[in-house]
Structure formats: C-alpha cells, structure tokens
Structure 1
Amino acid sequence: MRGNSVTHAHKLSIVLFALTLSGAASPSNAQDAGANRLGTFGDWHAESYLEKKGKKTCLMWTKPLKSRGKYRKRGDVYMYVTHRPWLKKSNVVSFLAGYNYKKDSEARALVGGAKFVLFTDKDVAWARSARQDKALVDAMRRGRTMTLDGLSSRSTRTTDIYSLTGFSAAHDAINKACGVK
C-alpha cells in the first residue's frame, strides 16, 4: 500500500463493515434484514438495524448520478457512511465499486476543492483513517457533488459522480438514531 498506512483499529472497522456489506447492510437486503428506515433525504437514504447481539448500526447510502468508463459489465455501485457506536466507530466512508479494483491501486475522491486518496481492497474503496473519514464527511456536508475515480482489475478507468443533495439531513438522521455527535 502506498502513502499513509491504515491504522489497525480502522482496518478492523473496515473488515467488519465489509462483512456487513455482503449481508444486512446491502440496500437490496435492508428490508429482509429488518432495517429501520429513517428516511429518504434528497438523493440519500438513511436506516438503522441491529447486528449480532442487538448492536445498533446506522448507515446512509446513495448511488451515483452518473458513471463513466469503457466497461461492458459492472455490478451495483454505492457510497455509504456508517456509524457503529458499539465499536466506537462513526463516519466510516466507503464506496462499493461494482467491480474489483486493480491490486494496490488507489481511488481518488474530489469534493469541492478537497481531494482525498483512498485505499482499495477487492471491490471497496475506504478512507485511510478515522481522521480522513471525518474530513470526507465534513467536505460532503458542505459540497454539492462528489467525484470518485477508480481503476478496475482490468485497468478500466471509471468515474462516478454522486449527488450530495440531502447528505446533511441524512447524516443528521443517522447521528440522532445512533447517538453520535
């Protein structure tokens, strides 16, 4: 991995979230998992649900407004912000690419004038630390759109453009539901 390293605690949070992405936290499975829908806010959806042993998790998600790239087939694409107060984790930002990223590649996010370099693992891009997660969330609360550039395992460059309309309201909803300040 190039650049800043990923902290151990942040990596643990990422592993747990990745496991959740494959199950209950997937928007397509939210209804089946008993998710409590907190609402739709502009282009963002917010919900909470109970993980193992009744541990409350809150997340918000959206799909890109536009996606560009010379690909033939691509899976579902989402951006998430997740709180797991029982792990003392909040504002974990992640991007599900709809393809596997090229090994050791980085994804790049742009919000307003703020640029963020994210690390990738399989089909997910993540912030490198809790500090970077917070900076991303702060930028998204102020921004209008976010652009994410990535490189697939087949060396296909993609650009996803996300609306931030409703981001702050959805973030306020998950903060309240999970007691995060």
Structure 2
Amino acid sequence: MIRAAFLPLALLALSAPVQARDDLGVFSSWAAFRDPGVPRCYAIARPAASGRSADYRPFASIGTWPKRQIRGQIHFRLSRKLASSPRITLAVGDRRFSLVGGGGDAWARDRRMDAAIVAAMRSAGRMTISATDSRNRRFTDRYDLTGAATAMDAATVGCARR
C-alpha cells in the first residue's frame, strides 16, 4: 500500500524523463531517490500548496553525482517563469542567499554557497524562495524542512553504496 504522503513525491519523481529510480525513503515532506544509471542521488520536496496559478510544478532538490564528485548541489524548479533579470532570494531560517537562475530554475552561485545552504537547511524549520516572474510580479514558494536532513543523508548514503 502506498502511503498518502509518498504519493505526491512519487509523482514528482516520475514527472521527469522515464528512468529506473530506487526509492531511498520518504521522510515527512521530503523523499530521497537514486538513479543508478547516471549515477545520481537526490533529496526532493514540493513546496506548500499556495492556491495561486503556476507556470511549472515546483520542487527543491539537493543532488549528489559521485562520478562528478559533486555532493549537496541545490536546485529549485520555481512555480513561475522568471523575469529576464530576476532577483532570486532564498531564506532558510534567519539566513539569506542570493541565487542565480533563468527560465523556471534557480541554483546557488557556487559550491561554497551550496554547502552553506545545506548547512542552514539542516537546522531550520522552513525555507522560502522569492523571485520576480516574467510578468514582473514577486512570488514566493514555501517549504517545510521537516525530514530534509534525513532525506539528504539518505541520498548521500544511497550513492556511497554504489
């Protein structure tokens, strides 16, 4: 039987191009998966429902690519298409980060910022990402971080076992 909390995360993982994925676990509002063919592992979550219109199906993910020696890389799919020169701000607890992005995606500026964001996520209860959309309106996607640290750990361990 599929747990109700798992279904939206499973659908999110399946919305990407079809590949074999291993479920590494569901941890509150976060889940962890492994794509053995790449190989790649990631923790992923959807933002809280907002009831407003969206251009995309948003998510936050933290990825690990062992062959590329990349660990803890942040990626956001935002709910709206970004302005040509967006101002993207991530708030994690009391920390603020200025992200880069385009289209409907946002990332940390470098590996050092990735590490700082991951560290902040481990101790905060929620995070928000705000940006300017293509219609020049500010919007915010909100995330509950309950289970995020465990999902990130599961993703890291999942790729370490390869």
Is the alpha carbon distance of 1:175 and 1:73 closer, same or farther for their aligned partners in structure 2, counting shifts above 3 Å?
closer
Aligned equivalent of 2:9: none
Is the alpha carbon distance of 1:48 and 1:151 closer, same or farther for their aligned partners in structure 2, counting shifts above 3 Å?
same
Map 1:48-127; keep pairs closer than 5 Å.
Answer: 48-50=34-36, 54-67=37-50, 72-127=53-108
The aligned amino acid for 1:143 is A
Map 1:124-135; keep pairs closer than 5 Å.
Answer: 124-135=105-116
User: Deviations along 1:97-128, whole A, 9 cap, x unmatched?
Assistant: 13321112131011111100001121101100
- Whether the aligned pair in 1 keeps the contact of 2:91 and 2:129 (CA below 8 Å) is yes
Q: Normalization by structure 1: what TM-score?
A: 0.77
Is the alpha carbon distance of 1:30 and 1:76 closer, same or farther for their aligned partners in structure 2, counting shifts above 3 Å?
closer
The alignment status of 1:34 with 2:20, answered yes or no, reads yes
State the 1:30 CA deviation: 5.9
The aligned amino acid for 1:113 is D
In structure 2, the residue corresponding to 1:67 is in which secondary structure? Answer: coil
Count of residues in correspondence between the two structures: 150
Cα distance in 2, alignment partners of residues 74 and 100 from structure 1:
6
Structure 2: 5+ residue runs without aligned partners?
1-11
User: Deviations along 1:36-71, whole A, 9 cap, x unmatched?
Assistant: 000100110100013xxx431001110111437xx6
- Whether the aligned pair in 2 keeps the contact of 1:39 and 1:47 (CA below 8 Å) is yes
The aligned amino acid for 1:123 is G
The alignment status of 1:139 with 2:120, answered yes or no, reads yes
Cα distance in 1, alignment partners of residues 131 and 154 from structure 2:
29
Counting aligned pairs with the same residue, the percent is 28
In structure 2, the residue corresponding to 1:141 is in which secondary structure? Answer: helix
Deviates more, 1:132-141 or 1:154-163: 154-163
- Whether the aligned pair in 1 keeps the contact of 2:56 and 2:81 (CA below 8 Å) is no
Is the alpha carbon distance of 1:31 and 1:99 closer, same or farther for their aligned partners in structure 2, counting shifts above 3 Å?
closer
- Whether the aligned pair in 1 keeps the contact of 2:56 and 2:77 (CA below 8 Å) is no
Q: Normalization by structure 2: what TM-score?
A: 0.85
State the 1:75 CA deviation: 2.1
